[in-house]
Chains A and B, each alone.
Chain A
């Protein structure tokens, strides 16, 4: 029995626990065993909280026996290691926070706990969520379950790999420029970044505050709808969270697609897009058309400016957000500082990795007197133009679609030498962050690996991105779910972790 527990979706697990097909302790044990076995190969987890999880599972079983418990009662999940968890260290994938134990739970963590979910541990990630390959983590790279020589994407690489390898049925993640959708695509799973303000950022360690948004990684849109429903909502502790009711995303999943207007973003089918990847996207669009969706091409002319705009705004905010890591109150402190300057220099110099430093320096530069107007202000204007492009497009179509990333997963180390090449991984995802829109990625097939990679790459998944207007999570989940009713890409899992 427990051999096959991991083949259940999150939705099935929730239902099975309620029906007492299995107990939460059984479920948690089964997943903990898989985590333990996978760790040397994948390195998806930074911390595993087995004892706490088993105790919580026992409590969940008592609740379930008494007919109590929330929608996720007894269901195991993992948290990206930038969601603060009281009593369990929160590292952000950084040496800076290697010793940091949060005294409080992030709102997302508290909400999922209240819904009955059980945390199995904290998931590896790019340092402070800065990266597209999970190679910047202080805890080492995460490996792609489809091929361990390949990256899982980033920054939520640990969350994506864990869900793809069925180490957890669902995981929290965050998306600042594509950090949920890109790893979802590269690991062949489903990931949704909600509208900016839909999920509380309180307790989510900040990278770029105006772009960061928490979301979920699961194997299906149905599971994403369930988990997101439980963690979304207004939070008085987050001034940017929006006070509108959360619809029941699950209830809206089955609406038919007939007549739904789908726009293919013309600018996303560019020379950077891998040819095979493009074919998978076209095939996915055919599926949607067969279901009655009306497809057309839509142009968002300013969208190609999103990468340069993003790489001004995000580093600017990061340079300020990461100023608090100074060795004074928490986090890494250098040994025997001579004076204040020495304390700052060495604590930060030792605590941060190269990519974080690069972005702090870029951000400091673009905010400096004399450069602010040319960089930061201009980037904010570009951001407005991109937002206006989306707004215009949503006057014509219900959802926008395109590839999630230009290529499938790449080999570990292939892009670390050139940051710009790495940054271009997010070329299709950043627009939704700049405009604050909900967007998701669903698996839409496989490619043989990027054109430049050796043939030995084998099958690697790619993703279809679906973007909706503000607060249209229900709509994009609906399109994704209907697509997944017609396809089985999301049900495929890496052989080693079947």
Chain B
């Protein structure tokens, strides 16, 4: 996309996010939802759509959907209705998907995202409804035939439909990440995008800057990574602008993003689209939720990411950015607070270490904070030794690496490596005197007014003490001694 074109066009994006609910059993049957079983090992007669079987709604899926609705400040429908979406496909055993159509369980919520300039933007959420997932068609490794795996069929989903409120790929990614964080906070979705637990369809259109009318949109289906969402939207935006600028017209269609080629391709146009013949599912009664149930769910809501970030800022004196990073997941935030509980006087130091050394070390080994490799209390011990000046910040990094490698405590490593900081004034003075005696020339120059040599003396003393001299004390003593 050329800079000139882009500035005359505005991109409009709405997302439909599918989040698999982390229930143990399926939404309408007792079969397990665990990932990775052999094909069709987790497909009950109900999932297979056998003659005579009937769906029974999983109450846990309802609770999770309500949980989500409350977390985005939405209206929870006192009565919602399951509907059948009719179409033929081999991975859809009944020939219809049970979903919600006219009356979804969650309507009219919103989430705030933070933009690059630090301002926040509210993204409207039109609705979130419960539905069952379909199975999978397998086309490879079966000698030219197509296989059907119905393990996923009947897995509960909430489909979260946003308003067309996003204006760039970046905003779309920020929104998607926000939803991702939220569903994991609520523990209603494992958020695993590789396994398809969290995926989205992006509705993308462009219009001239300043125009109030929406352009014709294309729907990009089934994108399962943040990076792909960004790339797919950027590609699609450029495609549409180029098409319009070269005199063409965008047609309403469904497109597929091909991550290998980095492009979107047409799947079917509006004319070829299915008529899903939605109608209320007569096998299921309307879902009626009373105030008591909704309030009981509300009472179980955890502290939400935005609330937690605000609290981190005020309680620990962290910047909005740091608070945001540390609350990106419930586990990380929990870890941080555990460190702070064990080293209560150093919340900022803790933030720097959790976001810096620890994050880097975890990243390097592709571990997450819950892995147990560096228990919070261990890190807190290290921070305490920095704070009480047992070791310098610089040596602390060495200690951290040793802790990471051996799993030993900070004290044990400081002890065994003899890294304890020298805070004994006499010892530091002796070291200074030795350095002064060994470097008469530099001392004379310094005294003649070459102030820059102060650093030389700091370095020499540190070298002589293997870096263990307390820096503040050393500074003070040098200032006293060097002038003679």
- Interface, chain A (partner B; CB < 8 A): 82-84, 90, 92, 97, 100, 102-104, 106, 201-206, 208-210, 236-240, 316-317, 319-320, 322-324, 326, 328-331, 340, 344, 364, 367-369, 372, 376
Contact = CB atoms under 8 A, between A and B. Distances in A.
B285 A326 contact: no
B134 to A, nearest CB: 13
Contacts of B275: 368-369
Contacts, number: 99
Interface stretch (B91-99, B316-324, B405-413): B91-99
A317 B281 CA distance: 9
A56 to B, nearest CB: 22
B93 A324 contact: yes
Given A239-B285, A326-B88, A326-B95, A320 B279 contact: yes
B284 interface: yes
A344 B148 CA distance: 15
A324 B94 contact: yes
30 contacts: A82-B52, A90-B52, A104-B50, A201-B54, A203-B53, A204-B52, A205-B52, A209-B283, A236-B56, A237-B54, A239-B54, A239-B57, A239-B285, A319-B86, A319-B277, A320-B84, A320-B96, A320-B277, A322-B95, A323-B96, A324-B49, A324-B51, A326-B90, A329-B48, A330-B50, A330-B51, A367-B86, A367-B278, A369-B275, A372-B278
B283 A239 contact: yes
Nearest to A200: B54
B282 interface: yes
Interface SS of A by simple majority: loop
B52 A323 contact: no
A365 to B, nearest CB: 10
Given A320-B277, A368-B277, A102 B51 contact: yes
A364 B52 CA distance: 21
B45 A104 contact: yes
Given A320-B95, A320-B96, A103 B56 contact: no
Interface in B376-417: none
B51 A317 contact: no
Task: Name the residue in B53, B54, B148, B284 with the highest tally of chain A Cβ atoms < 10 Å from its Cβ.
Answer: B54
Contacts of A202: 52-54
B196 interface: no
Contacts of B84: 320
Nearest to A380: B280
A236 B283 CA distance: 13
Nearest to B89: A340
Contact of B54 (A82, A100, A238, A331): A238
B51 A92 contact: yes
A340 B92 CA distance: 13
Interface in B222-278: 275, 277-278
Interface of B: 45, 48-57, 84, 86, 88, 90, 93-96, 148, 275, 277-279, 282-285
A323 B84 CA distance: 12
A102 B54 contact: no
Task: Name the residue in B48, B51, B93, B278 with the highest tally of chain A Cβ atoms < 10 Å from its Cβ.
Answer: B51
A364 B275 CA distance: 10
Contacts of B93: 324, 328-329
Task: Name the residue in A239, A316, A331, A372 with the highest tally of chain B Cβ atoms < 10 Å from its Cβ.
Answer: A239
Given A103-B50, A106-B52, A209-B283, 17 more contacts: A83-B52, A90-B52, A202-B54, A206-B51, A206-B283, A208-B282, A236-B56, A237-B54, A238-B56, A240-B282, A324-B51, A324-B95, A326-B90, A328-B90, A329-B93, A367-B278, A372-B277
Contacts of A237: 54, 56
B83 to A, nearest CB: 10
B255 to A, nearest CB: 22
Nearest to B275: A369
A102 to B, nearest CB: 7
Nearest to B48: A329
A236 B46 CA distance: 14
A413 to B, nearest CB: 30
Contacts of B284: 239-240
B52 A103 contact: no
A183 B90 CA distance: 38
Contacts of B45: 103-104
B289 to A, nearest CB: 15
Nearest to B281: A209
A331 B48 CA distance: 13
B91 to A, nearest CB: 9
A28 to B, nearest CB: 26
A238 B90 CA distance: 25
Contact of A340 (B55, B90, B278, B282): B90
Contacts of A204: 52
Nearest to A238: B54
Contacts of A367: 86, 277-279
A30 to B, nearest CB: 31
B50 A102 contact: yes
Contacts of A316: 279
A328 B40 CA distance: 14
